[in-house]
Structure 1
Amino acid sequence: MEKVYIAGKITGDPEYRMKFGRAARALEMTGNVVLNPATLPNGLNQADYMHICFAMLDCADRAVFLPDWNESEGAMLEQAYCAKTGKPVAFLAGV
């Protein structure tokens, strides 16, 4: 069982919960434990979200990036962090 963090565009995407939910279900169907930032509550500030997301990312065995990840400042930071620390990544298409 692998712990997988999902990264992608949230800010400015009104459909982000649905998009992340589809990705989470697909990853769970292959036996993964999914760490999904789209399940966090509304009302926190951007810094709070990033602190929580980086904690989830640190706990994950791998990060999976949705197709729109490069439209998100936060996801681009997460990708750079993975590259710097050697965290394995995968890039999903068609989610």
Structure 2
Amino acid sequence: MPRLYLAGPMTGIPDYNYPQFNAVAEQLRAKGFTVENPAENQAPECGTWAGYMRIALRQVLACDVIAFLPGWEGSRGARLEHQVATELGLKICLAADLLNPSLLKDAL
């Protein structure tokens, strides 16, 4: 299975949307994916959005696939991750498609 990065909205969402990130990451791992989940990252020393994004973008660079959670389009960070993934030719899909057995093959 390819290594994938899980992207989605965090800022302005209760608990930074970590419960959804963690639940989806667990489901994807159960299907055999190696998942880079930004909700599991240590906080950067600076504690800034830019610091978090520096960590996240390194993770994106190590992956073959980027899977998006609902609402990603409204997230500045997820849009940046999408742009990087697009420019680098990573496979882009919705996380929900990877969790749906009938859509999994088409998603990858």
TM-score between both structures, scaled by the size of structure 2? 0.80
Superposition misfits of 4+ residues, deviation over 3 angstroms:
none
Matches within 5 A, 1:64-75: 64-75=67-78
TM-score between both structures, scaled by the size of structure 1? 0.90
Answer whether contact 2:6 2:95 (CA < 8 A) is retained. Answer: no
CA RMSD of aligned residues (A): 1.9
Identical amino acids, percent of aligned pairs: 33
Tell me how far 1:58 sits from its aligned partner: 0.3
The answer to which structure, 1 or 2, has the higher relative contact order (CA under 8 A, 6+ apart) is 1
Aligned pairs, number: 95
Distance 1:92 1:34 in 2: 11
Distance 1:90 1:27 in 2: 13
Higher alpha-carbon Rg = 2
Deviations 1:5-53 (A, max 9, x none): 0000011111411000111011101101110001123462111111100
Structure with more helix by fraction: 2
Deviations 1:51-83 (A, max 9, x none): 100000000111000111011000001111111
- Equivalent residue of 1:89, what SS? strand
Q: Give the equivalent residue in structure 2 for 1:11.
A: 11
5+ long unaligned stretches in structure 2: 100-108
